Amino acid sequence: MEYVNPLTGFRVDGRRPNEMRQLKGEVGVVARADGSAMFEMGNTRVIAAVYGPREVQIKGQQVSSEEALVRCEYRMADFSTGDRRRKPKGDRRSTEISLVIRQTMEASILTHLMPRSQIDIFVQVLQADGGTRAACINAATLALADAGIPMRDIVTSCSAGYLCSTPLLDLNYIEDSAGGPDVTVGILAKMDKVTLLQMDAKLPMDTFETVMELAIEGCKAIAKYIREVLLENTKRLECQRCLRPDFVSGHFLQQTYMYRAIFVEIKAYKAAFGSED
């Protein structure tokens, strides 16, 4: 099957090889969670909820009393794929992805600031259309930031592949299931550090580099978008909260100046008429 049209250079869903699917991020979708987010990459749609930092629920799991315990659970909804199938909890694939997400997020969370507590991340795939791993990490980042958990940097992830001797960014399900190489990269966007790199096929060294470069470019674009979403959300919350405190404190400021003026006057008075108190 042709995944890239040799004449036009377009992919099966009409994208250019280095084009990403449409992104959509929304914060605050789960009412009871401390932080939550929905993230869409084209038709892939993921929801993430963060609970914590809270008291460690099962004391045996606590590794050290100096750092927070991070846990992650990944699940695919029964209706997320084309064929509706009941998926057993804790199968090999979802355990592996849970682990991957946990390790990636743990690299960014400043766990030493929240000793003796635990952070739970729950990610659920609502629609799977390739790149669920990447979408889950992006959603988890948004949810963690919404929960006000201190992080070193924004973690973003994006996949890239190599089909029909063309590097392709952000594979969808059809391209994903073509059996070609699929590179998922997760980076700390500002520090330019790689926290996740997975590939399930073989690639020549030089091709791999171009594919990875492409994925990193994708990650950076996602980071830019996520930052916009977060900043807009922060501004909205702050604007609604109340008028800035300067409206109140302006009054106090005036008073302080007044007192200072009186003080200066007394000083001048003392200087003029001797210092017999």
Please give the residue ranges that form the binding site for other proteins (CB under 8 A): 28, 31, 34-35, 52-55, 68, 110, 114-117, 145-154, 189-191, 227, 230-231, 233-244, 246-247, 250
Strands (E), 56-173: 69-76, 117-127, 155-163, 166-169
Distance of alpha carbon 89 from alpha carbon 44, whole angstroms? 21
The residue (of 12 and 29) whose beta carbon lies closer to other proteins is 29
Please, what is the minimum distance in Å from the beta carbon of residue 141 to other proteins? 8
Structure tokens at 123: 């990610």
Cβ proximity to other proteins, 154 vs 203, nearer residue: 154
CA distance 173 to 152: 32
Q: Return all residues near 134 (Cβ < 8 A) that are at least 6 apart.
A: 41, 157, 158, 159, 170, 184, 186
In Å, how far are 57, 92, 110, 154, 155 from 191, measured between CA atoms? 33, 32, 15, 9, 10
Question: To the nearest whole angstrom, how small is the minimum distance from the Cβ of residue 185 to other proteins?
Answer: 18
128 vs 201: CA distance, rounded Å: 21
Of the candidates 133, 134, 106, the residue with the CA atom closest to the CA atom of residue 120: 106
- Cβ count within 10 A of residue 85: 11
The answer to whether the Cα torsion of 51, 32, 24, 181 is positive or negative is positive
- Rounded to a whole number of angstroms, the minimum distance from the CB of residue 233 to other proteins is 7
Least distance from C-beta 225 to other proteins, angstroms? Answer: 12
Closer to other proteins at the Cβ: 19 or 153? 153
Nearer to other proteins, 238 or 265 (CB): 238
* Min separation Cβ 159 and other proteins, Å: 22
CA distance 4 to 35: 40
Residue 248 or 266 with smaller CB distance to other proteins: 248
Q: Which is nearer to other proteins, 120 or 176 (CB)?
A: 120
CB of 76 to other proteins, least distance (A): 25
Instruction: Reduce the DSSP state of residue 36 to 3 states and report it.
Output: strand
Q: Report the run of H or E that residue 199 belongs to, with start and end.
A: strand 193-199
Q: Give the shortest CB-148-to-other proteins separation in angstroms.
A: 3
Nearer residue to other proteins within complex by CB, 161 or 186: 186
